[in-house]
Chain A
């Protein structure tokens, strides 16, 4: 906490070009991961575009399952909401924004959208669809089988990415 405050005061806290505040994310992520949303299935490592209509629930499920910062497309580009949401991983829903995030290797969650899919294909990112039951749809996983990451299975003690059980 002292380090967090010191970095705020001297301006050395890390911010990425999309506005993600790494320090703040470290504080907020464990709080969000307490919410009981799990995604079942396998999600690839590396750049991934996750298509879903339940972006918030899926983003939290992926955060729980992978521990990676999750970038959610579709924030309203109005201040101060945009600035606040960018700090914890939000981004505007624009194909160029999705493309840039994927080229930088991020895990991106967005609504099913032709522009975003095109951007993911151009960035050689894996595309995953998560259905209404919070399960990864096999038809969209477009990467090598060894590059997948095991997520929770929505049982009381879901599997972590490393194969151990969360209790």
Chain B
């Protein structure tokens, strides 16, 4: 199997490439991204291409002629790019790669990274949605993810399409706005609400992607660490000082966080003020996948500068 990974330069893309490199079913791993991979890869090919550069992206995809595509080129606002650039890269990259893949016609499996932000947190919507809940995003990132899912569904053709709606991936080495914010010495929490949220460990995220790819899974699944924490709890777990903040003061909090180097996009503010979990029973029932790290473990891990762990191949 020849696998093309978009977004290979990100932490998740690099980890997925490391897992796939020595897999017995994988003959070649190649990736594209705007930034180079974050770890040394033994055999994987990397092409440094901006996803907005349609001509070069199309040429790279056609040259490789992959059997499987892992689309991780989803750029979270303020993770590695500004919100505008993140949206442009995500939308343009998804459109270009998936439409080219459809025109090549040899792809049998597609795995797309999405997020639990697609469900939205309008009043009366479930706090723990399952995959049957229709996406009704309430943030810019959620709308981008919904667009990615729609594009993937319309272009996949006869290939199997696995959409993984992941909880926010955080970790000590993972660039994420939520992780950066929670690691500030002072963490503003809503004075009137302390709702639960779930997060996902980077290794569980990488394992879920590889699991779905190898299984040739077709469908939509939520992926999140079991359990939940509240913003207040998360701050306390990291021995941070929680500051109760009234709702009108949140624009000020966002400004202060930006000055402190941890800008808060609207989907992270929504998570902190309205909570966001997901029912993950279906991925266990259908694919037999279970996360190794619970949400409280992931949050504790976030506050520790653990040494870099090199993943072993799953072959």
Question: Could you tell me which A residues sit within 8 Å of B by CB distance?
Answer: 8-19, 77-80, 82-83, 86, 91-94, 96-97, 99-101, 103-104
Asked, given contacts A10-B237, A103-B281, whether A17 binds B196 with beta carbons under 8 Å apart, the answer is yes
The 4 closest A-B pairs by CB, nearest first: A11-B236, A80-B192, A17-B277, A79-B193
Tell me which residues across on chain A come within 8 A of B296, comparing CB atoms. Answer: 12
Tell me which residues across on chain A come within 8 A of B232, comparing CB atoms. Answer: 11
Question: Could you tell me which B residues sit within 8 Å of A by CB distance?
Answer: 123-130, 132-133, 190, 192-196, 198, 227-230, 232-238, 273, 275, 277-279, 281, 296
Which of A14, A17, A82 has most B Cβ within 10 Å?
Answer: A17
Partner of B196, one of A18, A94, A100: A18
Q: In the docked arrangement, what's the CA distance between A101 and B129, Å?
A: 10
B230 touches A15 (CB 8 A): yes
A15 touches B228 (CB 8 A): yes
Tell me which residues across on chain B come within 8 A of A103, comparing CB atoms. Answer: 279, 281
B234 touches A96 (CB 8 A): no
Q: In the docked arrangement, what's the CA distance between A79 and B129, Å?
A: 19
- Chief secondary structure at chain B's binding surface: loop
Tell me the smallest distance from the CB of B92 to a CB of chain A, in Å.
33
Could you jot down 17 A-B contacts, CB within 8 Å? A11-B233, A11-B238, A15-B227, A17-B277, A19-B127, A19-B195, A77-B123, A79-B190, A80-B192, A83-B193, A83-B194, A86-B196, A92-B126, A92-B127, A96-B128, A96-B132, A99-B279
Tell me which residues across on chain B come within 8 A of A77, comparing CB atoms. Answer: 123-125
Asked, given contacts A92-B126, A92-B127, A97-B126, whether A19 binds B233 with beta carbons under 8 Å apart, the answer is no
Tell me the smallest distance from the CB of A107 to a CB of chain B, in Å.
16
Tell me which residues across on chain B come within 8 A of A14, comparing CB atoms. Answer: 227
B275 touches A92 (CB 8 A): no
Tell me the smallest distance from the CB of B198 to a CB of chain A, in Å.
6
B127 touches A16 (CB 8 A): no
Tell me the smallest distance from the CB of A17 to a CB of chain B, in Å.
4
Q: In the docked arrangement, what's the CA distance between A12 and B299, Å?
A: 11
Tell me the smallest distance from the CB of B250 to a CB of chain A, in Å.
13
Q: In the docked arrangement, what's the CA distance between A18 and B228, Å?
A: 8
Asked, given contacts A11-B234, A17-B228, A103-B281, whether A92 binds B192 with beta carbons under 8 Å apart, the answer is no
Tell me the smallest distance from the CB of A122 to a CB of chain B, in Å.
9
Q: In the docked arrangement, what's the CA distance between A91 and B193, Å?
A: 15
Which of B198, B228, B232, B278 has most A Cβ within 10 Å?
Answer: B228
A10 touches B127 (CB 8 A): no
Tell me which residues across on chain A come within 8 A of B133, comparing CB atoms. Answer: 96
B227 touches A16 (CB 8 A): yes
Tell me the smallest distance from the CB of B75 to a CB of chain A, in Å.
27
Tell me which residues across on chain A come within 8 A of B193, comparing CB atoms. Answer: 79-80, 82-83
B237 touches A79 (CB 8 A): no
Tell me which residues across on chain A come within 8 A of B275, comparing CB atoms. Answer: 19
Q: In the docked arrangement, what's the CA distance between A77 and B296, Å?
A: 25
A91 touches B196 (CB 8 A): no
B227 touches A91 (CB 8 A): no
B279 touches A100 (CB 8 A): yes
Q: In the docked arrangement, what's the CA distance between A86 and B123, Å?
A: 14
Q: Looking across the interface, which residue of chain A has its beta carbon closest to that of B198?
A: A17
Tell me which residues across on chain B come within 8 A of A80, comparing CB atoms. Answer: 192-193
Partner of B129, one of A9, A10, A13, A96: A96
B196 touches A78 (CB 8 A): no
Tell me the smallest distance from the CB of A56 to a CB of chain B, in Å.
20
Q: In the docked arrangement, what's the CA distance between A92 and B133, Å?
A: 14
Q: Looking across the interface, which residue of chain A has its beta carbon closest to that of B191?
A: A80
Which of A15, A97, A103 has most B Cβ within 10 Å?
Answer: A15
A12 touches B125 (CB 8 A): no
Tell me which residues across on chain B come within 8 A of A100, comparing CB atoms. Answer: 126, 128-130, 279, 281
Tell me the smallest distance from the CB of A86 to a CB of chain B, in Å.
7
Tell me the smallest distance from the CB of B261 to a CB of chain A, in Å.
23
Partner of A15, one of B124, B190, B196: B196
A9 touches B236 (CB 8 A): yes
Tell me which residues across on chain A come within 8 A of B228, comparing CB atoms. Answer: 15-17, 19
Tell me which residues across on chain B come within 8 A of A13, comparing CB atoms. Answer: 233
